[in-house]
Structure 1
Amino acid sequence: MKKYLLILIPLMLSGLQLCAQKLEVSVQANTGLFHFAGKSTTATTQVLQGSTAGSAMDYANDPYGNKNGFSYGASIQAQTVSKGGFIVGLQGGYELLRSKVEVNKYTPITSVLYGDYLPIAANDPSFAVTGHVAFQSQSINLNPYFGYRFQLNKVKLDILPGMDIGLILDSRDKGEVKDKDGKIYKVNRERTKAPTDVRLRLGAVASYGRYGLNASFAHGLTNYMKNYIGDASFNAHSEYFRLGLSYRLL
């Protein structure tokens, strides 16, 4: 599906440009709140010691936190606007996304492990900690969209339904926790590459002159836990609220 979308999008834009009133190109910077939703997400988890070589290999037992993490990105977009106010466009850029999960327990590597997930021991070696871990991903995000422009005196309001196609470059557990004696355990472990994150997205842009205020919400369709421990019943999908500023170059 992704291959056909990447072929269709530029053809769609070039064709519509022939009958469009004008082409607009703008740059955008945004921040946002990102989290996971679904029956397998969690607000709290434990950190497992991943290697005796050092704490950099420690990782969250369940990293798909349902608490918002601060995220940000930058993009460039091109759109055509017809004489009737109809819009079609494509936005592409870089994003760093973080969800957050609180950590209440640390399990050292003194027990027998079943796979990488469930510690089994006669005497539980775990101890209490405080802190949080983020599931952090870096991605190239493509956002094809359609829409309509309303003219409100000197302000233009664009309503833009579309979709996100997040091409993941890197994903990892990142954070730190602290025990009752003040010892800090850092977490910065790379995970297996996350799947391409497809999200439905609804955006709005209010612009005055060359400047614009942008807001959007995206609801993920991709199950990050589809192949989690071989059990298809696990489910976690992304949700992302963005707020940003844009400047029109053309």
Structure 2
Amino acid sequence: MAARVDLVIVLPGNFSIQPKITIYTAIGYEQLTSQVAITAIVGDFGYPTPANGQGNLQNQYLNLNPFVGKRFGNERFSIDATVGLDIAVGLLSREFGKVQPEYPFLQMSDQRRPIPDVDLRPRLNLTGYYRMFGLSAGYSHGLSNYAGKQLSTDALIYAHFWRVGIAYRFGKHT
């Protein structure tokens, strides 16, 4: 399965409680898509039929991200280490795809899927800066079971996000 981030918009804010220790908050919008290759279809009789296709699952969230961090380094080189929580409000989950089975007709899917109302995700993040430019890497682990709202399943499906990005600091960067 391949996953990609289609769109992430973040509006950050922060204040310092003492030198080099900062409390941050950010509000953001995420649209995340996962892709899977479809190689077979299982119909009403339970026998798999070879197929060729692709399915996509797209989830949309509104995020609130409070976190606390410590800055190590100096004006020229620094590293921000942060720990916090993503509070992700599920807006929409949609599954869509196309499949070409062995027999000559095309099957398409386009439907809404259940999504947790709120997914709390503990998050760790490191950002290394050279002056005002930085590279960021982080990980968050969702606590909500995404299969919980689906019928006839005992599956446990949780969100795991590896984040990599670029950063720019506005204003004083000590």
User: TM-score, with normalisation over the residues of structure 1?
Assistant: 0.60
Partners of 1:176 and 1:184 within 8 A in 2: yes
CA distance 1:154–1:181, shift in 2 (3 Å): farther
Displacement of 1:131 in angstroms is: 2.6
Task: Tell me which of 81, 86, 90 is aligned to 1:164.
Answer: 86
Equivalent position of 2:147 in the other structure: 225
Task: Tell me which of 32, 46, 56 is aligned to 1:97.
Answer: 32
State the secondary structure of the residue aligned to 1:192: coil
Matched, 1:85 2:6: no
Displacement of 1:176 in angstroms is: 2.4
Matched, 1:207 2:147: no
Displacement of 1:171 in angstroms is: 0.6
Equivalent position of 1:240 in the other structure: 161
Q: How many Å separate the matches in 1 of 2:143 and 2:115?
A: 17
Equivalent position of 1:70 in the other structure: 4
State the secondary structure of the residue aligned to 1:228: coil
Q: How many Å separate the matches in 2 of 1:193 and 1:239?
A: 15
Structure 1 outlier segments of 4+, above 6 Å: none
1:133-169 deviations in Å (ceiling 9; x for gaps): 1221111111110111101561121001111111111
Partners of 2:31 and 2:59 within 8 A in 1: yes
User: What is the aligned length?
Assistant: 170
Q: Report sequence identity in percent.
A: 25
1:75-109 deviations in Å (ceiling 9; x for gaps): 1111123443112111111111123333222356x
Q: How many Å separate the matches in 1 of 2:107 and 2:76?
A: 54
Q: How many Å separate the matches in 1 of 2:60 and 2:85?
A: 18
Partners of 1:195 and 1:224 within 8 A in 2: no
Q: How many Å separate the matches in 1 of 2:125 and 2:105?
A: 44
**What runs of 5+ residues in structure 2 fail to find an aligned partner?**
none
State the secondary structure of the residue aligned to 1:224: coil
State the structure with bigger RCO (CA 8 A, min sep 6), 1 or 2.
Answer: 1
State the secondary structure of the residue aligned to 2:151: helix
Q: How many Å separate the matches in 2 of 1:184 and 1:75?
A: 39
State the secondary structure of the residue aligned to 2:159: strand
Partners of 2:114 and 2:150 within 8 A in 1: no
Q: How many Å separate the matches in 2 of 1:145 and 1:197?
A: 16
User: TM-score, with normalisation over the residues of structure 2?
Assistant: 0.83
User: Higher mean Cα deviation, 154-163 or 183-192?
Assistant: 183-192
Kindly name which structure, 1 or 2, has the bigger radius of gyration based on alpha carbons: 1
Matched, 1:179 2:101: yes
Q: How many Å separate the matches in 1 of 2:18 and 2:59?
A: 40
Structure (1 or 2) with the greater strand fraction: 2
CA distance 1:193–1:89, shift in 2 (3 Å): same
For the aligned residues, what is the CA RMSD?
A: 2.5
Partners of 1:170 and 1:193 within 8 A in 2: yes
